[in-house]
Amino acid sequence: MKVTEHIEKSKGKTQFSFEILPPLKGQNIDSIFNNIDPLMEFNPPFIDVTYHREEYVYKEQENGLLQKKIVKKRPGTVGICAAIQNKYKVDAIPHVLCGGFSKEDTENFLIDLDFLGIDNVMALRGDAVKSEIYFKPEEDGHNYASDLVSQIENLNQGNYLDEDLANTSTTNFCIGVAGYPEKHMEAPSLESDVYFLKKKINKGADYIVTQMFFDNQKYFEFVDKCRKEGITAPIIPGLKPISTKKQLNLIPHRFKVDLPDDLVMAVVKAKDNKAVRQIGIEWCIAQSKELIKKGVPFLHYYSMGKSDNIKSIAKEIF
């Protein structure tokens, strides 16, 4: 079922959903199931599965020279989606990236998803590979998520890359895209970022999931701004509980989001990571309660592959 249909069906009640990461190469599917199992009692209508593009690693050879190797540390997004739909009978939402994909690769990827009965996809540009500063598309790949949305929407109309294909069938993907309450890190202003977000919606995206934020006011202002710009699609808040002291530096650096002073100082003064974890859970519960009061359609939690703290939050909320 489509995310937009889940929202309609719930008649205004906030629902629970979460995102998982494929495990590191070498682990089996049980490592995923072990983290999903404890969260199923909160009835998530869908589970997102992130996509991780290849990385370049340099391995020293016997002659001392470095050999560049391309590795994919977290493969398996499509297989995990199939396994989730099969085992839990809930919608699995694969993330689909521009990065690392030509248009042809994308089309074939989408065909696989369609054959598997996947109804939703999250269309994203992806970040630059770790060894590069700026995002570079593949030759004949997409530069921006809005172009990827167009390709998915074309397939929904039965328009494949090969215009000579006759009697093509249509796909029926519901398309999610990313939104950034504190603006995307490369965007020169929130204004321009929302302008391009609207472009993704105009090209066929159906709903928005936000980057994590720790101050609900940022989300409320973002929603107001989007509505003023004529974006009417549902805007699902993405939440992540802090769980380690290290994240105080890592989150602003990696995601360019602000952490409120009260949260920062509580974490700074915490005696160990067990205490930080509890602070993160309580902060996230308070955020969740306020967001529910405002009638958000979903609370979408970034589990980062660990279910225990999300479970502690969901127990208080759902």
Which residues form the interface with ligand FAD (CB under 6 A)? 50-51, 53, 95, 97, 124-127, 144-146, 178, 184, 186-187, 192-193, 196, 200, 209, 211, 238
- Least distance from C-beta 244 to ligand FAD, angstroms? 21
Between 124 and 242, name the residue whose CB sits nearer to ligand FAD: 124
- Least distance from C-beta 245 to ligand FAD, angstroms? 24
Cα separation, 89 vs 73, whole angstroms: 27
Cα separation, 210 vs 220, whole angstroms: 12
Between 90 and 123, name the residue whose CB sits nearer to ligand FAD: 123
Contact 53, 137 (CB under 8 A): no
- Least distance from C-beta 196 to ligand FAD, angstroms? 4
- Least distance from C-beta 280 to ligand FAD, angstroms? 19
- Least distance from C-beta 298 to ligand FAD, angstroms? 12
Residue 14 carries which DSSP code? -
Q: Which residue, among 207, 261, 240, 257, has the nearest Cα to 309 in the 3D structure?
A: 240
Tokens of 272: 């160990």
Contact 90, 45 (CB under 8 A): yes
Between 22 and 276, name the residue whose CB sits nearer to ligand FAD: 22
Packed helices 273-293 and 261-269: angle between N→C axes, nearest 10 degrees: 160
Contact 26, 53 (CB under 8 A): no
Q: Which residue, among 39, 36, 38, 37, has the nearest Cα to 15 in the 3D structure?
A: 39
- Least distance from C-beta 62 to ligand FAD, angstroms? 34
Contact 219, 291 (CB under 8 A): yes
Between 2 and 53, name the residue whose CB sits nearer to ligand FAD: 53
Residue 46 pairs with which residues in a beta bridge?
Answer: 91
Between 32 and 178, name the residue whose CB sits nearer to ligand FAD: 178
Between 97 and 266, name the residue whose CB sits nearer to ligand FAD: 97
- Least distance from C-beta 128 to ligand FAD, angstroms? 8
Between 255 and 318, name the residue whose CB sits nearer to ligand FAD: 255
Strand residues in the chain grouped as ranges (E) = 15-20, 46-49, 55-60, 66-71, 91-97, 120-124, 174-179, 207-212, 235-239, 298-302
Cα separation, 89 vs 111, whole angstroms: 21
- Least distance from C-beta 209 to ligand FAD, angstroms? 4
Of all helices (H) and strands (E), which one includes residue 104?
helix 103-115
- Least distance from C-beta 164 to ligand FAD, angstroms? 29
Cα separation, 10 vs 125, whole angstroms: 30
Tokens of 255: 């995601």
Between 126 and 280, name the residue whose CB sits nearer to ligand FAD: 126
Between 87 and 198, name the residue whose CB sits nearer to ligand FAD: 198
Cα separation, 79 vs 118, whole angstroms: 12
